[in-house]
C-alpha cells in the first residue's frame, strides 16, 4: 500500500479507529503507536521514520524465515491468481491443502498423520479441545471432558484457548469462560498425577502443554518431564496435546519441540511458523491411532470447521515456507545460532549484576533480571519493560515478560540470523544493561 500521509496523521487515525490486540487502550490514547512499521527485510524491520531494528522476536515468534522473501509473495500471487479460494467442506478439496496435509504427516514425529486446518493458534487449540471431547463422546465416555493444562501456560485467546491458558490475567479479563479447566504446576508431573487423582481420571479428556512455555518467559521443562507426562497420560487414558504454536517448524532447533523429549503426542497444534507469518494458518495434527478411531466411530458430520480451514493461499504459502526451511537448512541454523546466542547471554550474566538466570533452546531464549544474584531477589518494580524500551531505541526488538512475577527479556530471532547479528544483539544488550545498572 502506497500512502502519502505523515506519521502524525497516522498516529491520530490509529488512536481514533484502531483497537489494538493485547495492548493498553489508555497508553494508545495517550501516546499513539510508537512504531509504525513499513518494511521488513531479512532480520530487520524498518519504521515510517526510517528507523531500522533487529527483529529479535521474529515479530510474534513467527517470522522464522525472515522478512521480505519475494518467493513467498510469488507463491501467494500464483495461488491467488489460480484459485484464490474454494471450500474444503463436505466433498470439496483442493491441491494446496491436500499437499500440505501430506507434507505435515511426513515432517511430524511418530504416527502424527492427519491435519485439521484453522486460521491460527487459538483456533487450533479450541479445535483440539473440541476434538478430544468429541473423541470421548464417540468412545462412549462423554463424562471425560475436563482439560488439564499448566500454570504459566499460554494457549491463545479464543474462549476455549483462554480457558486452557494458565496465566491468570488472561482468564480474569472476562467473567465466565468454558467450564472444566484445571492447571497442574508447570514443571511437575507429580502435580498432574495428583490433579488427575483428585478430579477422577474418568472425567479427564486431555492434558495440553507447550514443549517450551513461550509467553510464560521461555520456560524449558527439565529432562525427563515429558516422558513422565506421556506415561501418566497413558496410565490414566488421557490424551496428550502438544501445543507447538511457537515451538513448531524449527524454533527450538528441531522441527517440533516435543522431539527433544522423544515422546509422541496424540495431537499437536501448530500455527505461526507454519507460514512464517506470511499468511494466517494453523492446524491440529492427529495421530494415526486417533484419526483411525475417528474414521471407525464417526457416524455423522464433524460439526466443526471454519470458512478458512485450509485456505488455499495460506496452504500454498506454508508449502513454500517449508521448502525454504528445508532448502536453506534453517532448522539446523536455529540450533547452531541458538547455542551462540546462549553463549552470549552467559557472557552477559558474568558481566552484569542484574542478569540472573539465562536460558535457551534453539532460538527461544531468555534473560532473567534480578536485584540480587545470590538470593535471586527480583526488583520491586520489574525492570524488563524499561530495558526493552531502551533496547528498541538502540535497534533491538524483544519482549518484556512481567506476568506471574516474572522480570524477563525474551528473544526469538529469525532462523536466518548470522554470528555477526548474534554478536550485534549481545553488544546492544551489553551497552543497554551497562546504562541501566
Ligand atoms: N499457543 C501458543 C503456545 C502461543 O504462543 C500462541 C500465541 O502466541 C497461541 C497458542 C495462540 O496463537 P494465535 O495468536 O495465532 O491465536
- Domain layout of the chain by residue ranges: 35-65+329-436, 71-327
Q: Cβ atoms within 10 A of the Cβ of 234, count?
A: 11
pLDDT at 176: 85
**To the nearest whole percent, how much of the chain has pLDDT over 70?**
99
Q: Is the CB of 257 under 6 A from ligand 1?
A: no
Q: Which atom of ligand 1 is nearest to the CA of 271?
A: 15
> CA 321, CA 309: separation in Å to the nearest integer?
18
- Tell me whether the CATH fold assigned to 35-65+329-436 matches the one assigned to 71-327: no
Q: Is the CB of 156 under 6 A from ligand 1?
A: yes
The model's confidence at residue 14, banded by pLDDT at 50, 70 and 90, is very high
User: The CATH number of 71-327 is which of 3.40.50.1820, 3.40.50.1370, 3.40.640.10, 3.30.360.10?
Assistant: 3.40.640.10
Q: Is the CB of 243 under 6 A from ligand 1?
A: yes
For residue 125, report the distance from its CA to the centre of ligand 1, in Å: 9
Q: Which atom of ligand 1 is nearest to the CA of 153?
A: 3
For residue 210, report the distance from its CA to the centre of ligand 1, in Å: 10
Q: Is the CB of 340 under 6 A from ligand 1?
A: no
Q: Which of 6-10, 63-67, 350-354, 400-404 has the lowest mean pLDDT?
A: 6-10
What 3-state class would DSSP assign to 411?
A: strand
**241: CB partners within 8 A, 6+ apart:** 125, 128, 132, 206, 207, 208, 209, 265, 266, 267, 268, 269
pLDDT tens-place string over residues 315-344? 999 999 999 999 999 999 999 999 999 999
> CA 23, CA 61: separation in Å to the nearest integer?
17
Strand extents, DSSP E, 239-318 = 239-243, 267-270, 282-287
pLDDT at 437: 80
pLDDT tens-place string over residues 185-208? 999 999 999 999 999 999 999 999
Q: Cell 479428556 maps to which residue?
A: 205
Q: Output the nine-digit C-alpha cell for 120.
A: 491460527
pLDDT tens-place string over residues 50-97? 999 999 999 999 999 999 999 999 999 999 999 999 999 999 999 999
pLDDT at 4: 80
pTM of the entire predicted model? 0.98
The model's confidence at residue 146, banded by pLDDT at 50, 70 and 90, is very high
pLDDT tens-place string over residues 23-44? 999 999 999 999 999 999 999 9
Q: Is the CB of 338 under 6 A from ligand 1?
A: no
The predicted complex's ipTM stands at 0.99
pLDDT at 26: 95
The separation between the first and the last C-alpha atoms of the chain, rounded to the nearest angstrom, is 43
Q: Which class does domain 35-65+329-436 fall in?
A: alpha beta
pLDDT tens-place string over residues 216-239? 999 999 999 999 999 999 999 999
The model's confidence at residue 105, banded by pLDDT at 50, 70 and 90, is very high
For residue 117, report the distance from its CA to the centre of ligand 1, in Å: 15
For residue 2, report the distance from its CA to the centre of ligand 1, in Å: 31
The model's confidence at residue 248, banded by pLDDT at 50, 70 and 90, is very high
Kindly report the average pLDDT of the chain as a whole number. Answer: 97
What 3-state class would DSSP assign to 397?
A: strand
The protein residue with its alpha carbon nearest to ligand 1, atom 8, reads: 156
**204: CB partners within 8 A, 6+ apart:** 144, 146, 147, 148, 196, 236, 238
Q: Is the CB of 120 under 6 A from ligand 1?
A: yes
Question: Which one of 60, 123, 155 would you pick to mutate in the ligand 1 pocket, going by the greatest count of ligand atoms within 8 A of its CB?
Answer: 155
Q: Which atom of ligand 1 is nearest to the CA of 247?
A: 3
Quick check: 2 pLDDT over 70? no
For residue 273, report the distance from its CA to the centre of ligand 1, in Å: 11
The model's confidence at residue 354, banded by pLDDT at 50, 70 and 90, is very high
Quick check: 98 pLDDT over 80? yes
The model's confidence at residue 1, banded by pLDDT at 50, 70 and 90, is low
Q: Is the CB of 170 under 6 A from ligand 1?
A: no
Cβ atoms 406, 217 nearer than 8 A: yes
The protein residue with its alpha carbon nearest to ligand 1, atom 13, reads: 121
Give CA torsion, residues 224, 290, 318, 325, to 10 deg: 30
Quick check: 153 pLDDT over 90? yes
Quick check: 436 pLDDT over 90? no
pLDDT at 66: 98
Complete DSSP assignment for 332-350:
HHHHHHHHHHHHHHHHHHH
For residue 407, report the distance from its CA to the centre of ligand 1, in Å: 21
Question: Does residue 58 come out as left (phi exceeding 0), alpha (psi in the -120 to 50 range) or beta?
Answer: left
Amino acid at each position: 500500500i502506497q500512502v502519502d500521509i505523515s506519521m502524525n496523521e497516522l498516529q491520530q487515525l490509529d488512536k481514533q479507529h484502531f483497537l489494538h490486540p493485547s495492548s493498553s487502550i489508555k497508553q494508545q490514547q495517550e501516546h499513539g503507536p510508537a512504531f509504525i512499521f513499513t518494511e521488513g527485510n531479512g532480520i530487520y524491520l524498518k519504521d515510517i521514520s526510517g528507523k531500522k531494528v533487529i527483529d529479535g522476536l521474529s515479530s510474534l515468534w513467527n517470522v522464522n524465515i525472515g522478512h521480505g522473501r519475494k518467493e513467498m509473495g510469488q507463491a501467494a500471487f500464483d495461488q491467488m491468481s489460480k484459485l484464490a479460494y474454494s471450500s474444503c467442506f463436505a466433498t470439496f478439496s483442493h491441491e494446496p491443502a491436500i499437499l500440505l496435509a501430506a507434507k505435515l504427516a511426513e515432517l511430524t514425529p511418530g504416527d502424527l498423520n492427519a491435519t485439521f486446518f484453522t486460521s491460527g493458534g487459538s483456533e487450533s487449540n479450541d479445535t483440539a479441545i473440541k476434538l478430544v471431547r468429541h473423541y470421548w463422546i464417540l468412545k462412549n465416555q462423554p463424562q471425560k471432558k475436563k482439560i488439564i493444562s499448566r500454570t504459566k501456560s499460554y494457549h491463545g485467546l479464543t474462549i476455549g484457548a483462554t480457558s486452557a491458558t494458565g496465566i491468570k490475567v488472561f482468564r480474569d479479563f472476562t467473567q465466565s469462560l468454558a467450564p472444566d479447566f484445571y492447571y497442574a504446576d508447570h514443571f511437575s508431573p507429580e502435580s498432574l498425577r495428583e490433579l488427575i487423582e483428585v478430579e477422577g481420571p474418568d472425567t479427564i479428556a486431555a492434558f495440553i502443554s507447550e514443549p517450551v512455555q513461550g509467553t510464560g518467559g521461555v520456560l524449558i521443562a527439565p529432562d525427563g518431564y515429558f516422558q513422565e507426562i506421556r506415561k501418566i497420560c497413558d496410565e490414566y487414558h488421557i490424551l496428550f496435546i502438544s501445543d507447538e504454536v511457537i515451538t513448531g517448524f524449527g524454533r527450538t532447533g528441531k522441527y517440533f519441540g516435543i522431539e527433544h523429549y522423544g515422546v509422541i503426542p496424540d495431537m499437536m497444534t501448530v500455527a505461526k511458523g507454519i507460514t512464517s507469518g506470511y499468511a494466517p494458518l494453523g492446524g491440529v495434527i492427529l495421530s494415526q491411532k486417533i484419526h483411525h478411531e475417528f474414521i471407525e466411530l464417526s457416524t455423522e458430520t464433524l460439526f466443526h470447521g471454519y470458512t478458512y480451514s485450509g485456505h488455499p493461499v495460506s496452504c500454498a504459502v506454508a508449502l513454500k515456507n517449508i521448502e525454504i526451511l528445508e532448502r536453506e537448512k534453517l532448522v539446523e541454523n536455529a540450533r547452531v545460532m541458538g547455542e551462540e546466542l546462549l553463549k552470549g547471554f552467559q557472557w552477559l550474566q558474568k558481566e552484569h549484576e542484574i542478569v540472573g538466570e539465562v536460558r535457551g533452546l534453539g532460538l527461544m531464549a531468555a534473560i532473567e533480571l534480578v536485584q540480587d544474584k545470590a538470593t535471586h531477589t527480583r526488583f520491586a518494580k520489574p525492570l524488563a519493560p524499561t530495558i526493552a524500551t531502551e533496547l528498541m531505541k538502540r535497534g533491538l526488538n524483544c519482549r518484556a515478560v512481567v506476568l506471574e512475577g516474572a522480570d524477563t527479556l525474551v528473544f526469538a530471532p529469525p532462523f536466518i540470523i548470522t554470528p555477526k547479528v548474534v554478536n550485534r544483539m549481545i553488544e546492544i544488550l551489553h551497552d543497554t544493561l551497562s546504562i541501566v545498572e
